[in-house]
Structure 1
């Protein structure tokens, strides 16, 4: 109990510091040429989402260009997701797992998620309006392996992180290209959603068939 409370207070304390000094950190992104420092800032802002991460990714893309900016943004977001996963996994998994499996309906969904964790996390990362925090925490309190989570998250984050950096770069160089870029990504998201829904429906039908067998 004290361990969980201490971890929560530690996270809240760091979050408060980011809230107070966050604007200064964003200023460092614009003024700094140090890639390690910007990566550290990206990780910190992703861990404590006081500011929308797309805004941070756009700033990084505007400063470092779409390719390098995309890589920096991806490293920051992926590292933050891994840190959050480990934080919850080793601090709250036992409590969270009991809660998930205590509810029959939620327990069934969790079991289905755990059996198809890699693809579920991968598709979820492709869709930017699914909060990263929810994916991180739900994966951590379930029985998803660290390797599956890390690989799926790292691969799934690539398109969105590149988009943030490209849009940020276009704002500084070719604003007219933003419409084309976001349009292409919109088509990608639509196809991802269709494939994901088809795959989920197929998995649910298979699970229902096993339950009735």
Structure 2
């Protein structure tokens, strides 16, 4: 997937969140309990029937940046843990399903000695299929603690940025959009620099 395609896709998601801000306002007035949002965030991470960034933005709109972001972060991490253990138990079937994701195959050379760093980087990169990362960790027997802690650390920037975008979508749409765009520009510049650095080292 091209980088500009990713930027366009997430810009569209922001637009959809802004368009449906009134519908979200109606839901927020009903004061949904935290446990319901937690269960919903876990369920939608397990069965992604809609882009998860919309779920994060909606949670931020309903419960604010910090509460909504925290609930989403732990709900999605719980979903990742469930997939991890399912992949570890049903290893043969999961391994066959994993072969369709070429990006994940490249993790092998890094994950063996740097599981925590590998998971953090995978969570930061929006084009890496997160379900495939969860399955890969379970299939390969990656230690559970580095997997979970790396997932929390890697998810944190994007989750709270999108939660803020959702919380500010109605009153400060320009500011929210600017922050989302700035995040992706910084992220892609960092990835570009990292690739250049690795390429330079490989020539030595």
Give yes or no for TM over 0.5.
Answer: yes
RMSD, aligned α-carbons: 3.2
Task: Tell me the CA shift for residue 192 of structure 1.
Answer: 3.4
Q: 2:84 aligns to what?
A: 85
Which secondary structure does the structure 2 equivalent of 1:51 belong to?
A: coil
Structure 2 gaps of 5+ residues are 1-23, 99-103
* Structure-2 residue corresponding to 1:123: 121
**SS of structure 2 residue aligned to 1:173:** coil
1:185 CA drift (Å): 0.6
TM-score by length of 1: 0.70
- CA 1:137 to 1:107, structure 2 compared with 1: closer, same or farther past 3 Å? closer
Aligned match of 1:170: 168
- Residue 132 of structure 2 corresponds to residue 134 of structure 1: yes
For CA contacts below 8 A with separation 6 or more, give which structure has more relative contact order.
Answer: 2
CA–CA separation in structure 1 for the residues paired with 2:198 and 2:39: 36
Partner of 2:33: 34
Q: TM-score, normalised by structure 2?
A: 0.72
Q: Which has the larger radius of gyration?
A: 1
State the distance in 2 between where 1:99 and 1:81 align.
Answer: 16
Are the equivalent residues in 1 in contact too, given 2:110–2:118 (CA < 8 A)? no
Q: What is the deviation of 1:99?
A: 10
Match of 1:146 among 131, 144, 147: 144
Deviations 1:30-78 (A, max 9, x none): 4343111111111111111111111111111111111211111111111
* Distance (whole Å) between structure 1 residues aligned to residue 81 and residue 198 of structure 2: 25
In the alignment of these two chains, the number of paired residues is 176
Is the CA contact (8 Å cut-off) linking 2:84 and 2:138 kept in structure 1?
Answer: yes
Counterpart of 2:186 in structure 1 is 188
